[in-house]
Amino acid sequence: MVCFRFSLVRSDFLNLIPFYVALATLFAQPWLSYCYYNRNSNSNVSKPVFSTPEECARTCVDGEPPKYCYYHFHIEFYTVYGPACDKQAQMDQCVLADMVERTFTSINRQLPGPIIEVCKGDYIIVDVENATPGTEITIHWHGLFQNGYQYYDGVPYVTQCPIPSSSTFRYQFQLQNAGTHFYHSHISTFMSDGQYGALIGKDPKDPHRRLYDVDKYIVLLSDWFHSLSLERYPGFYRHDLGQDAQNILINGRGKWTDPVTKQTNKAPLTVFEVEQGKRYRFRIINSFSTVCLAEYRIENHNCTVIAQDGANVKPTVVDAAITSAGERLDCVIHADQKPRSYWIQVRGLGECAEKKVQQFAILKYKGALETPPTPQPSFDNPPKGIMYNPLDGSNCGTRDTSNSVCVNQLESLEDESEILQYEPDEFYILDFWFYNYTDYGDRNLFQKKDSYPTYFSANDRSQLTSMFNDVTYLSSSSPLISDRRSYETICKPNQLSNCVEPCVCTQVIHTQLGNVVELLIYDRIPQADLHHPFHIHGYEFKVLYIGQFTDGRNISQTDVDNVIMEHQQRLKQGVYKNPPGKDTVKIPVGGYAFLRFKADNPGWWLLHCHFTWHHVTGMELVIHVGDRRDLPRVPSDFPECSNWKPPFQSLNDFYGDRHRQC
Q: Which residues bind ligand NAG (CB under 6 A)?
A: 44, 302, 317, 319, 385-386, 434, 436, 438-439, 458, 460, 462, 464, 525, 527, 553-554
Which window, 112-120, 228-236, 313-321, 530-538, contacts Cu ion (CB under 5 A)? 530-538
> What is the size of the binding site for Cu ion (CB under 5 A)?
4
- Amino acid identity of residue 297, one-letter, is R
**How would DSSP label each residue in 336-362?**
-S-SSEEEEEEEEETHHHHTT-EEEEE
Residue 443's binding partner out of Cu ion, ligand NAG, none, with CB under 5 to 8 Å set by partner kind = none
Is 614 a residue that touches Cu ion (CB under 5 A)? yes
Smallest distance from ligand NAG to CB 533, Å = 18
Q: Which is nearer to Cu ion, 406 or 464 (CB)?
A: 464
Smallest distance from ligand NAG to CB 313, Å = 15
Grouping H, G, I as helix, E, B as strand and the rest as coil, residue 109 is coil
Which window, 243-251, 268-276, 377-385, 614-622, contacts Cu ion (CB under 5 A)? 614-622
Residue 255's binding partner out of ligand NAG, Cu ion, none, with CB under 5 to 8 Å set by partner kind = none
Q: Give me the helices (H) in 373-432, please.
A: 418-421
Count CB atoms within 10 A of the CB of residue 561: 10
What does each C-alpha distance from 181 to 125, 230, 308, 582 come to in angstroms? 16, 26, 10, 12
Grouping H, G, I as helix, E, B as strand and the rest as coil, residue 489 is helix
Q: Which is nearer to ligand NAG, 205 or 461 (CB)?
A: 461
- Closest Cα partner for 280 from 333, 238, 357, 209? 333
Smallest distance from ligand NAG to CB 412, Å = 21
User: Quick check: 599 and 159 in contact, CB under 8 A?
Assistant: no
User: Quick check: 587 and 593 in contact, CB under 8 A?
Assistant: yes
Is 609 a residue that touches Cu ion (CB under 5 A)? yes
Is 228 a residue that touches Cu ion (CB under 5 A)? no
- Closest Cα partner for 433 from 554, 545, 267? 554
**How would DSSP label each residue in 179-202?**
EEEEEEE-STTGGGGT-EEEEEEE
DSSP state of 578: S
- Amino acid identity of residue 103, one-letter, is T
Q: Which is nearer to ligand NAG, 54 or 551 (CB)?
A: 551
Q: Which is nearer to ligand NAG, 123 or 433 (CB)?
A: 433
- Closest Cα partner for 352 from 262, 291, 265? 291
**Binds Cu ion (CB under 5 A): choice among 142, 334, 532, 542:** 532
- Amino acid identity of residue 597, one-letter, is F
Residue 608's binding partner out of ligand NAG, Cu ion, none, with CB under 5 to 8 Å set by partner kind = none
Is 608 a residue that touches Cu ion (CB under 5 A)? no
User: Quick check: 486 and 476 in contact, CB under 8 A?
Assistant: yes
Residue 614's binding partner out of Cu ion, ligand NAG, none, with CB under 5 to 8 Å set by partner kind = Cu ion
Smallest distance from ligand NAG to CB 334, Å = 8
Q: Which is nearer to ligand NAG, 556 or 569 (CB)?
A: 556
Residue 477's binding partner out of Cu ion, ligand NAG, none, with CB under 5 to 8 Å set by partner kind = none
253 — phi, psi (to 5°)?
A: -130, 155
Q: Which is nearer to Cu ion, 362 or 606 (CB)?
A: 606
Count CB atoms within 10 A of the CB of residue 86: 10
Binding mask 392-411 for Cu ion (x = CB under 5 A): --------------------
User: Quick check: 593 and 520 in contact, CB under 8 A?
Assistant: yes
Smallest distance from Cu ion to CB 439, Å = 18
Residue 527's binding partner out of ligand NAG, Cu ion, none, with CB under 5 to 8 Å set by partner kind = ligand NAG
352 — phi, psi (to 5°)?
A: -75, -20
Smallest distance from ligand NAG to CB 80, Å = 32
Smallest distance from Cu ion to CB 619, Å = 5
Which window, 84-92, 131-139, 176-184, 611-619, contacts Cu ion (CB under 5 A)? 611-619
DSSP state of 654: H
User: Quick check: 508 and 621 in contact, CB under 8 A?
Assistant: yes
Residue 317's binding partner out of ligand NAG, Cu ion, none, with CB under 5 to 8 Å set by partner kind = ligand NAG
Side-chain-side CA neighbours of 66 within 13 Å: the count stands at 19
Smallest distance from ligand NAG to CB 275, Å = 18
* List of residues contacting Cu ion (CB under 5 A): 532, 609, 611, 614
